[in-house]
Amino acid sequence: MDKSQQTTVPSNKPRRRFPPIWVWCVLGVTAGVIVTVRTTDATADRATANVVTLIAAFLGLMTLLSWFTYLSGFPRWLRWTPPLVLLTAVTVTAALCCIDSTSSELIPRFAWRWSPKPDELLSVPNATGTFTELRTTGEHDFPEFLGPSRRLAVENVRLARDWDRRPPKLVWRKEIGAGWSAFSVVNGFAVTQEQRGPLEMVTCYEVETGKLRWSLSIETRFQTILAGVGPRATPTIDEGMVYTLGATGRLFCLDGADGHVVWEKDLWAEFDVTPEQEESDVPYGRAGSPLVIGDRLIVPAGGTSSRNYVSLVAYDKHDGTELWRGGNRQVAYASPVLATLGGVEQVLLVSENYAGGYDPETGDVLWEHDWPGNSSSDANVSQPVAVAADRVFLSKGYRQGATLIELLPKSDGTFNTKPVWGSSRVMRTKFTNVCIYQGHVYGLSDGILECIELETGRRVWKDGRYGHGQILRVGDLLLVLAESGELLLIEASPKPGEHVLGRFQAIDGKTWNNIALSGSYLLVRNAGEAACYRVEVEE
């Protein structure tokens, strides 16, 4: 036969039914990545570790599935069954469910697509005009964000240390609208902010009963998957007035007697910010709690890059007249705080990518220190803390850690800054703040309670995973409200050993809100419920 007439007989050699070496290599690499991020500090952030784990697992699964479907030697019906089942499951799930929210570690919570948000099921309380006395003050008031002077500390209460024998007693517990605001307490009345359906509200409750005394409602709603629903700043109570900043930039001065509006500002309008710009630049909502200094009310301002950012703006607290604008930095999610450093009274603020000090009389910038961040991603949230006559402690999550800076006076009345120490391995406070006690810093570092030396940054101990909850120092004790809603009593001591003195489940659900303590009354809340406990105190 002529060779030119020969035909090629197709090979019937079956394809391999076991993955080739390249599939095993991909699976090995993805498994190595997962093990590394789960067991080491490679990402320095558990949320990032969860995202990397998900991506690596997806790539490994898709590699194995692709080989099985297209290259393995199994029958066609068997090869195409897994991808069809997977595609059907994903399609049905996407049609019926959606991601309702996430934890601080980006673990999603799913809900039916047609299910309303819990706050949308709450009725709007009808309680306006009930007289409330907020002009009377007392030694156990907790009148603003993080307590008196915003130090995250209560010095005039001594808590009983044995919660087994003398446990906190529930006074009341009730549903509340969504939001990450905390309570501010004056003269037995607690004020907070919450979201109920389309209404953002300021509400005032009796501490001893939980009864609503008055409320103010405005039609605005903030909601994102990552940030959640509702307002996040905490009201400030001063001389009988209540000052609040909502998530969408609505600033109010309310008469604390009955909640009626004295004056108001729309920061978006004041600084030419469109909703689209705000959603892009400050996607987690306005969170700066108003600060009162004398007759001035000071809040972070923001704005747009095209018209220059404004770090802070001051208004006359009585009538809302603008007094000054200071700085040119975009807002972050921290609040202004008053301090005296280098003998100079100043307002401290962490903005989007700088920490700074501002003259409270004029808004002039006294100093700035580079503190990298982006308010739409690795945002600055934690408060600056004045820790000595000329030093400021800064902390942050997202691999940044903590630093102690020193202010060096200049001849023109401003300051240079010099790092005393810095470490990316300690005090990675993502959503939380630190407290200082006897030369040591205590805080939730990536969700784990940590104690470090203030002067050196050296870690003393790190123990107990509580998520991105909140803490409050009460004398020589710490109250830790875990992200799960569990409340713990912990000894603020650098000594090694067991520090937990007591614990109980105070509220249920994701809890990012700060604690308020007024004498023996402890108030906690989250985006779904609030509770008041009476804690035993020593005489």
Span 57-76, pLDDT tens digits: 999 899 998 988 888 888 88
Q: Residue 74 class from Cβ within 10 Å (0-12 exposed, 13-18 middle, 19+ buried)?
A: middle
Q: Show which of 81, 112, 143 is a domain's final residue.
A: 112
How far CA 235 is from CA of 124, 202, 246, 436, in Å, comes to 20, 8, 10, 24
Chain Cα centroid distance, residue 421? 25
**Model-level pTM?**
0.92
Q: Is residue 421 part of a domain?
A: yes
Q: Is residue 499 part of a domain?
A: yes
pLDDT at 125: 80
Q: Are residues 136 and 106 in the same domain?
A: no
pLDDT at 40: 79
pLDDT at 111: 86
Q: Is residue 89 part of a domain?
A: yes
Two tokens, residue 498: 């067991």
pLDDT at 128: 62
Q: Are residues 171 and 316 in the same domain?
A: yes
Does position 10 have pLDDT exceeding 70, yes or no?
no
Q: Are residues 338 and 407 in the same domain?
A: yes
pLDDT at 46: 79
Contacts of 8 by beta carbon, 8 Å cutoff, 6+ apart? none
Number of domains, the chain: 2
Does position 108 have pLDDT exceeding 90, yes or no?
no
182-195 burial string, b = 16+ CB within 10 Å, else e?
bbbbbbbbbbbbbb
Beta bridge mates, 153:
473
User: 87's torsion region: left (phi>0), alpha (psi -120 to 50) or beta?
Assistant: alpha
Nearest to 181 by CA among 218, 135, 229, 139: 229
User: 110's torsion region: left (phi>0), alpha (psi -120 to 50) or beta?
Assistant: beta
CA dist 23 and 204 (Å) reads 62
Q: Is residue 395 part of a domain?
A: yes
Q: Show which of 112, 135, 159 is a domain's final residue.
A: 112
Q: Are residues 62 and 141 in the same domain?
A: no
Number of H-type helices and E-type strands within the chain: 5, 37
Radius of gyration of the chain from Cα atoms? Answer: 27
How long is the chain? 539
Q: What ranges in 142-215 are assigned the alpha helix state H? A: none
Q: Are residues 99 and 144 in the same domain?
A: no
Q: Are residues 271 and 231 in the same domain?
A: yes
pLDDT at 126: 75
> What average pLDDT is seen over the chain?
92
Q: Are residues 136 and 236 in the same domain?
A: yes
Q: Are residues 83 and 135 in the same domain?
A: no
- Return the CATH number at 229: 2.140.10.10
pLDDT at 114: 84
Does position 309 have pLDDT exceeding 60, yes or no?
yes
Does position 5 have pLDDT exceeding 60, yes or no?
no
DSSP letter string, 480-508: EE-TTSEEEEEE---SSS--EEEEEE-S-
CB 177 within 8 A of CB 230: yes
pLDDT in tens, 230-289: 999 999 999 999 999 999 999 999 999 999 999 999 999 999 999 999 999 999 999 999
CB 408 within 8 A of CB 417: yes
pLDDT at 321: 98
* Percent of the chain whose pLDDT exceeds 70: 96
Q: Is residue 5 part of a domain?
A: no
pLDDT at 14: 54
Cα dihedral across residues 313, 354, 415, 289: positive or negative: positive
pLDDT at 7: 53
Q: Is residue 249 part of a domain?
A: yes
HSE on the CB side for 391, CA within 13 Å?
14
Q: Show which of 57, 85, 112 is a domain's final residue.
A: 112
End-to-end CA distance of the chain: 114
Domain, as residue range, for 420:
127-534
CB 249 within 8 A of CB 284: no
Q: What is the mean pLDDT of the segment spanning 312-339?
A: 97
CB 349 within 8 A of CB 311: yes
CA dist 176 and 203 (Å) reads 10
Q: Are residues 425 and 322 in the same domain?
A: yes
Q: Are residues 137 and 250 in the same domain?
A: yes
Q: Is residue 63 part of a domain?
A: yes
How far CA 85 is from CA of 79, 107, 110, 250, 457, in Å, comes to 11, 24, 21, 49, 53
Q: What is the mean pLDDT of the segment spanning 474-489?
A: 97
pLDDT in tens, 379-401: 999 999 999 999 999 999 998 99
Does position 11 have pLDDT exceeding 80, yes or no?
no
Two tokens, residue 8: 């090629």
Q: Is residue 283 part of a domain?
A: yes
Q: Are residues 151 and 279 in the same domain?
A: yes
CA dist 53 and 112 (Å) reads 26
Amino acid at 475: G
Q: Are residues 75 and 172 in the same domain?
A: no
Does position 194 have pLDDT exceeding 70, yes or no?
yes
Two tokens, residue 39: 């067991």
